[in-house]
């Protein structure tokens, strides 16, 4: 299946029922469109099974709570709906997107307590997020934007509004021939890429930014567990930008990114080394087990 995302064959689960793909529409005065009152999950199914599916559904509920709304479907109901979407479209390997938002209703201002909360789940076939960069190493720009303070926005929610600077940063990176961009946080520490967490290797040990102002990704948590099982020391800490020069290897993690090696960030270069290749392959084996 290919083409524009609003013009495809298939089914999307929307507010409790499967609808034709092209009929999965919302009104232009939907609150989430105007005020970013929307949360979502990105998930991958391998061999017919969504990896960490329930954890994604639980996080969707958590994110909604952070934005002061409640999803009118339980985790069990969301799990059932995701399975229905995969079956209806005949997918075994697919990307799954669940999104919940404040819809159109009696309110059309900042406050929207009277508006219904809606939920949709779609799935499509999607290959490597970074294309051939997954094999030879992605090239990253350094974004001019910074990840905000936890005092300014619900940084641990997977919320649509948090991705505004991700879109602009990725556009700027692609214009320079890069695959993605790296953010620093509001204090100047290394944070994450536009849709993925980041890891570094030095002297056989792994260093990764402390997720105290950005999403602690489920893939990130999985990879840390894999490293610890191998006896690899993992340092979750604040990392200064000047430390990039001393790291030997680097990779990104995320549901879409999976485990993607990084070959360059700005003027800094990294090898696609043995540990990076091992973790990437081991993650692939795990999700398809």
* 158 among known catalytic residues: yes
| Contact between residue 201 and residue 250 where contact means Cβ atoms under 8 Å apart | yes
| Contact between residue 162 and residue 140 where contact means Cβ atoms under 8 Å apart | no
User: Which residue is catalytic, options 11, 82, 134, 158?
Assistant: 158
CB neighbours of 263 closer than 8 A, spacing ≥ 6? 133, 136, 137, 138, 139, 269, 270, 271, 272
| Contact between residue 270 and residue 285 where contact means Cβ atoms under 8 Å apart | no
Q: Of the candidates 280, 275, 206, 277, which has an alpha carbon nearest to the alpha carbon of residue 247?
A: 206
| Contact between residue 41 and residue 97 where contact means Cβ atoms under 8 Å apart | yes
Burial class (CB in 10 A: 0-12, 13-18, 19+), 260: buried
The residues annotated as belonging to the active site are 158
């Amino acid at each position: 299946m290919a083409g524009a995302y609003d013009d495809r064959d298939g089914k999307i689960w929307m507010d409790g029922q499967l609808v034709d793909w092209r009929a999965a529409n919302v009104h232009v005065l939907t609150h989430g469109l105007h005020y970013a009152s929307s949360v979502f999950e990105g998930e991958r199914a391998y061999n017919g099974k969504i990896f960490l599916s329930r954890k994604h559904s639980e996080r969707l509920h958590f994110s909604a709570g952070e934005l002061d709304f409640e999803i009118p479907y339980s985790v069990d109901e969301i799990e059932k709906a995701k399975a229905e979407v995969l079956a209806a479209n005949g997918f075994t390997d697919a990307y799954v997107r669940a999104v919940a938002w404040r819809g159109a209703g009696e309110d059309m201002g900042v406050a929207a307590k009277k508006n219904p909360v809606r939920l949709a789940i779609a799935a499509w076939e999607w290959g490597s997020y970074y294309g051939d960069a997954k094999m030879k190493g992605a090239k990253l720009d350094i974004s001019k934007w910074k990840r905000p303070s936890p005092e300014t926005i619900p940084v641990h929610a997977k919320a649509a509004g948090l991705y505004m600077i991700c879109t602009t940063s990725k556009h700027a990176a692609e214009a320079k021939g890069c695959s993605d961009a790296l953010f620093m946080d509001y204090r100047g520490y290394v944070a994450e890429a536009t849709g993925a967490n980041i890891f570094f290797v030095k002297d056989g040990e792994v260093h990764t930014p402390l997720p105290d102002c950005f999403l602690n990704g489920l893939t990130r948590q999985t990879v840390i567990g894999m490293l610890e099982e191998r006896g690899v020391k993992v340092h979750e800490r604040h990392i200064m930008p000047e430390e990039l020069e001393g790291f030997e290897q680097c990779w990104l993690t995320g549901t879409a990114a999976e485990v993607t090696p990084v070959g360059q960030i700005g003027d800094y270069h990294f090898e696609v080394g043995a540990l990076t290749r091992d973790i990437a392959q081991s993650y692939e084996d795990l999700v398809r087990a």
